[in-house]
Amino acid sequence: MAAPAAHAAADGYRLLGMDGGVFDFGAPFLGAPASDPTRCPPNPANRSLPDGSCSAIAATPDGGGYWILNRAGGRVFAYGDARSDGGDFAAAGTEFAPAGTGIVATGDGHGYRILELGLSGMTAVAAYGDAVSHGDEISLFRSDPSRFGAGFNASAEGLAATHGGGYWLAASDGGVFSFGDVAFHGSMGATHLNAPVVGVAG
């Protein structure tokens, strides 16, 4: 099970537990899904998540708000000055919701991107608010399967964005894909790793 995620906010940071608990250190506490047992429940009927179903947190650029992503139901909960644009799967049944593994805010805080793990093991980037999707593993595979060598064998585990709008995806095998206005600087793809890659930061 993944460890809680930490994200910078103003001069401090917040930790997110999979049960929806938010712990603040030098940053204001603005609320948490854990106060509502329906938001990040353990063991959803169609997902094996015994420690809770919240998987990621993203702060607004000024640190005055944050979004929390529910991996099981595709829901996004906004707190503080984070805008709630209806960018989630609230109206769909959980069986139709992709497993959201990461969320990253745009530079102006008026939107976010969600990294979604599909049934194929490939990931998609869904954009909400003023965020723009420039592509993802699924679109790359459809346009140029040769970029995956002998075949697809590693899901994207991390998403990192710049204020300019571009982003990088990092796969568990160390491969890195760049989208939008960011440059590719290299990766650990095709290199023996002692452990899978689990994140990326820009």
Provide the terminal-to-terminal Cα distance of the chain, rounded to the nearest Å: 24
Q: Is residue 121 domain-resident?
A: yes
Instruction: Tokens 């329906």: give the residue.
Output: 38
Kindly report, residue by residue over 159-187, the tens digit of the pLDDT. 888 877 889 888 888 888 889 989 999 88
Kindly state whether residue 71 falls inside one of the protein's structural domains.
yes
Residue whose token pair is 């093991």 = 121
Is residue 185 included in any domain, yes or no? Answer: no
Judge whether 156 lies within some domain: yes
* Per-residue pLDDT reduced to its tens digit, 109-140: 888 998 888 766 788 888 888 898 898 888 87
- Strand, coil or helix: 134: coil
Assess if residue 179 is contained within a domain.
no
When divided into structural domains, the chain yields a total of 1
Residue-range definition of the domain harbouring residue 145: 5-160
| Residue 4 φ/ψ, nearest 5 degrees | -55, 150
